[in-house]
Amino acid sequence: MKFTTLFFLLAIILIVNVLFAESKGTYKGRSSRPVADTIIKLDSVRDRKLLKIKKTKRATPALNGTAAENNGSNKDLSVKAITDTTVKLDTTKKNGLKPAIVPGNKFGLKPDTTQKTQKDKDGIQSEVKAVAEDSTITDNEHNILYLYGRARVTYEDFELDADYIRVDQKNHLVFARGSIDPRTHRYIGRPISKQKNDKPLSSDSLVFNYETKKGKLYNPASEQEGNFISGGQAKKLNETEVAYRNVIFSTCDLPYPDTHFGIVITRGIGEKNRIISGPAYLEIEGVPLPLAIPFGFFPKPNQRTSGFILPTFGEDQKLGFKLSNFGYYLGISDYVDLTTTATVYSKGSFEVNAMTRYLKRYKYTGNLSLSFGSHNYGLPGDPSLKDIHIDWTHSQDANANPGSTFSASVNAGTSGFFANNPAATNYNVVTAAQSSLRSSISYGKTWAGTPFNLTVGISHSQDIARKSITIELPTIAFGMSSINPFDSKDRVGEQKWYQKLTVSYNMTATNRANDVPESQLFKASTIKRLQNGFQHQIPVSLGLNVLKYFQFNSSVNYTERWYFQSINKRFERGSISSGDQLLIDTVLGFKRAGNYSLSSGLSTKLYGQINFKRGNLIAIRHVMTPSISFGYTPDFSDPSYGYYKTAVSSATIPYPYTYTKYSIFEGSVYGSPSGGKQAGLSFSLDNTIEAKVKPKSTDTSGTPRKITILQGLSFSTFYNFAADSMKLTPISFSGHTAVFNQKVNISFSGIFNPYVLSVHDSISNNTIKRYSTYINRYTWQDGKLPALNSLSISASASLNSTRAHAPGTPNVNTLQNIGAQQAQRLALVNSDPNAYVDFNVPWNISLNYSYSYNNSYNVISTSNTLMISGDVNLTQKWKIQYATTYDIKAAKLASATSFSIYRDLHCWDLSFQWVPFGYLKSYNVTLKVKSTILQDLKLSKRNDYTSNSSFYQ
C-alpha cells in the first residue's frame, strides 16, 4: 500500500513538472538529444522489408521506421543521412549557427526564411520560402533549415505543410514528417503536399527533390473522383508517373490501415488517368482473399468513363426469376451521358429504361428518362401488358438569358405503368398508389422597362383511375402589369385620388382536349375533341383612405371571351316528358361573350387589449378586421344577351311539354357568363389573437416576447337582394394556428347552414322513404343556431433532434457550388430517394392528423386518420425508419405501412425494407457499396409483392 502511494505521488510530481515546463516554454514534447528523421511504423508484416535499415556512419538508429532518408539505395534522390541536432546557442562564439532574434518569438529564432536557389533561363532566381509557427533553426555550416510546428515550405508550384520539415538547400532535398502528440500519443501533423493543379497528397513522411521534382512518400493517401489510394510506398518518377508498392486501391476513404476493403497492388505504375498493376489481390478488413490477378488495369479517370453495368439477381413471385438493371453507361462528354438498363424475367416479361443527363454550367441542366415495360401476369400465351413512361425535367439558370426563361417538368405515361412496374420505383408504396400525373413545358419572356410579359406552354394532366387525359397545346398568356394611367412620372408630392386609379390587362388562349380516353389519345378522333378560345380580362381598381380609419376599395372587372364553336340543344322529335332524349349539336363559327361586375367596399381594423399586472403574462391583444362590400352582376342568362337558350319538347296528350335552359358556351374552355342576377352585400370578419409575456431570465435584452395564440379565424357570407328566396348564403369559416413553439400546426374549416331543414316521409313500393329539403326560414327564427354542414380539421407536427444543425451554421452546400462527386450522389438520390439515409439527425418524427365531418340532408359521414412517419438512430450506425397510416374510425392500420432498418458500414450500406401487408407486401435485404462508381457491387435478397401464403418462407 505504501509503495502504491509513493508511486502515485512521484507520478503527480512528474506531471506537475512537465506542465510547468510547458507553461514556461521549456518543454516541447521532444528531446534535446540528436534526433534522426523518422517515419511512423507502418506494418511489421507487410512492410518488414522497409524496416530493414542500412546504417551509415552519420545515421542514428533511434526509432523504428527510419527509412525516409537513411535508405541510400535511392540514387535519383542522392539522399544522405544527416542527424538533426538541437544546438545550444552562444552569442559570444562563432559557431556557424547565426540566429536572428525576432520580437514576439518565444524561441528568439527567425520564423520565416527565404532562400534563393537557382536561376531560370531568364536569369530570375526561384526562391524557397519557409515558415514555421513554433521555431526555425538555420544551420549555415551545412546550409540546412529546420522548421518545427506547423511548418510550411513553398517552391515555385510546390507546396508542403507538416509538423516538422528539414530543407537541405545544398542537395535540394526536403524531408517532412509528423510528430507524436505527447498527450494523446497520436501521430499528428502529417505532411500534405501539392504540386500544380494536382489534388493534395498526404503521407506519413516524404523526401522530395524540389529541383528534379522527384520524391518518395511513405504511407501516402490520395483521392481522385471517388477512388482512394493509401498505404505502402509511392515514388514520384516525373511529372506524370508515380511508382507504387503495396498500396491499396479502394473506394473507401479511410486511409491505411483503417481501409475496409480494396485491391492491394504489390507493384504498379500510376499515370494521369490509369494505374498499370503487377500482381494484385483483394483484401477485406485486413484479411487477404484468394482472389488475385497477375496484372491489371485500374482507371483513374478525371472525366466520365463508359462501361458495362452489372446485373443483380432476384425473384418475382408472379414474373419469375430476374436479372435486374444490367446495361451500359455511356459517358458522351463532360456535359452529357446516357445510361441504358434492362430487366428480364424468366416468364417472358422485360423492362427497358434509357436515361440521359445533361448540363451546361451557368446555362441549363436537366435529365430525360424513357421507360418501356412488357409484363404477362396471366397465363402463358396471354397478351402482355405494355406500358411506357417519360420523365423529363429541365431548368435554366436565372442569369443565363435575362428576360427569358424555359422550364420543363414532364411526368407522363400509361396508367398502368407504376402498378405493372413496381420495380421501376423500388416498390415505393406512395408512387404506386398515386392517382394523377401532370406535366408542363413553358417559355416566358419579359421586356425590360415595360409592363408587358408573355408565356407560352403546353400542359398535360392524367387521371390514372379513370384512364383519361386532358391536354392543352398550346397555352398562351400575355399580360400587362398594373399601371396608373393618370399619374405622371414628373409628379411632385402625394398622388391625387384619381392618380391612384390602376388598370391592368391579361389575355389567355388555349387549345384543349378534355377527358380523352387513354386508348384514343393518338387517334384522329382526338383532333375533333379539341376546344379553343381566348379570354381577355381588364380590371380597373381604386383604393383610398377614408375618414382616416377606413380603407375604401372599388373595382370594375370586364371579361371578354372568344370562341370558335358553340352548342345547340334540342329534344328528339316525338319524345315525351316521361322519356325525353336531349340531343347536343356542335355549331362551328365565331362567337363572343362579354360580362362585367362592379364592387365597392370598406374595411378597417379594431383593436382590443387586456392588461395583466401579475404573473408572466403582460397583455392579450385581439385584432379584428371587418369588411363589407357591395357587388353587382347582371343576369347574363337573359335572352337579350344571346348567351343562353331554352330547349322545349313537343307536347303530346296526355303528356305535357318539358323544357331546359342552357348556355351555348357550356363546356367551353373558359366557361360562360353566369346566369342569375346578383346585387348584395358581402360580409367578412378576420381575427388574430396575440399574447405578450415577460422575457426569460436568460434574456439580457429585456424585450417582452410575443406569442401568437390564434393566427387567423375568418367568417364570411353574402346576402343577395336580387334573389327571390334563400338570399343568405351558407356561412363559411376557417382558421389556423401553431402551438408548442410553432412545432404543431393546426388548421380547420367548415360551413354553417342558416336555413331550417324540413324532413318528411313518403311511401313508395310499400317502403317508407325519408326526404329532406331546406326551406326559406332561418334557424334563429326557431331559437336555434345554424347547423354545421361540414367540418375539416388537420394537424401536423415535425419533431427532430436539434443536434442536426448547430445554430448559426451557414448552409454552404448549394446546387451552385457542389462538386462533381456531390453531383453524382445527388443524381443517385434523385433516381432512388431510398438510397439516402441521413445519420446526422438522431431522431425524427412526423405526425399528420386529419378529421372530416359532413352532414348532407341528415346523412352524416366522417373520417378520422393519423399518419406517422419518421426515423430514429439506435446507435451512431443503426437507424430505423417507419411509415404508416392508422384509421382511427376503423381501428386498423392502412396497407401503406413500411419499415426499414439501415446499418452504416462506412464504405458499405446494409438495408432491410419491409412492407408487412397490403398490395405491395414485400421485403428486401441489400448490402452494397456506397461509392457512386460501384453502385452495382451489391448483394440483394428480395421477396416481391405477392399474396402467396409462402411469402415469408
Q: What is the pLDDT of residues 398-441, one digit of tens each?
A: 888 888 999 999 999 888 888 777 666 666 666 666 778 899 99
Give the integer Cα–Cα distance in Å for 604 and 96. Answer: 91
* Domain carrying residue 843: 716-943
Asked if the structure places residue 486 within a domain, the reply is no
Residues 195 and 74 reside in one and the same domain: yes
Domain annotation covers residue 623: no
Residue of 172 and 46 predicted with greater confidence: 172
**778-813 per-position pLDDT tens digit:** 999 999 999 999 999 999 998 887 544 444 444 444
Can you tell me the mean pLDDT for 728-749? 92
Q: What is the pLDDT of residue 200?
A: 86
335-378 tens-digit pLDDT:
899 999 999 988 888 999 999 999 998 899 999 999 999 988 87
Distance (Å, whole) CA 664 – CA 646: 10
Nearest partner of 453 among 486, 482, 487, 412, judged by Cα: 482
Does residue 210 sit in the same domain as residue 279?
no
203 & 175 share domain: yes
More reliable by pLDDT, 917 or 872: 872
Q: What is the SS3 assignment for 933?
A: helix
Is position 671 within any domain? no
Choose between 306 and 177: higher pLDDT.
177
CB 795 within 8 A of CB 745: yes
* CA dist list (Å): 191 to 35, 206, 289, 425, 874: 18, 7, 32, 47, 38
What is the structure's pLDDT at 538?
96
The whole-number pLDDT of residue 849 equals: 94
In a domain, 923, yes or no: yes
210 and 224: one domain? no
Pair 758, 848 in one domain: yes
Task: Please identify, among 191, 214, 237, the residue that sits at the C-terminal boundary of a domain.
Answer: 214
Indicate the pTM of the whole model.
Answer: 0.64
Mean pLDDT of the chain: 79
Q: Which of 529-538, 676-685, 886-895 has the lowest mean pLDDT?
A: 886-895
Of 738, 717, 740, 714, the residue nearest 727 (C-alpha): 717
In the predicted structure, residue 519 carries a pLDDT above the cut 60: yes
Residues 6+ away with beta carbon under 8 Å from 899: 880, 881, 882, 913, 914, 916
Residues 186 and 264 in one domain: no
Band of pLDDT at residue 506, cut at 50, 70 and 90: very high
Residue 902 has pLDDT above 50, yes or no: yes
pLDDT at 837: 65
> Whole-angstrom Cα distance, residue 706 to residue 436?
43
Domain count, the chain: 3
Same domain, 224 and 210: no
Beta strands in 178-331 (DSSP E): 179-180, 187-188, 192-195, 201-202, 205-209, 214-218, 221-224, 227-230, 233-236, 242-250, 261-270, 274-277, 280-284, 287-293, 296-299, 307-309, 312-316, 320-330
**How does residue 201 score in pLDDT terms, banded at 50, 70 and 90?**
confident
Last residue of a domain, one of 272, 302, 332: 302
- Domain limit, last residue, from 192, 214, 236: 214
Note whether residue 381 is domain-resident.
Answer: no
Q: Is residue 72 included in any domain, yes or no?
A: yes
Task: Grade residue 919 by pLDDT with cuts at 50, 70 and 90.
Answer: low
Mean pLDDT of the region 228-234: 86
Of 242 and 297, the one with more pLDDT? 242
Residue 808 shares a structural domain with residue 910: yes
Give the pLDDT score at 105.
Answer: 37
Residue 796 and residue 893 share a domain: yes
**Same structural domain for residues 144 and 54?**
yes
Q: Tell me whether residue 595 is in a domain.
A: no
Query: CA 239, CA 881: separation in Å to the nearest integer?
Result: 50
Do 171 and 265 belong to one domain? Answer: no
- 744 pLDDT more than 70: yes
Looking at residues 755-774, what average pLDDT do you find?
Answer: 82
Least confident of 330-334, 378-382, 940-944: 940-944
Within-domain flag for 188 = yes
Residue 918 and residue 779 share a domain: yes
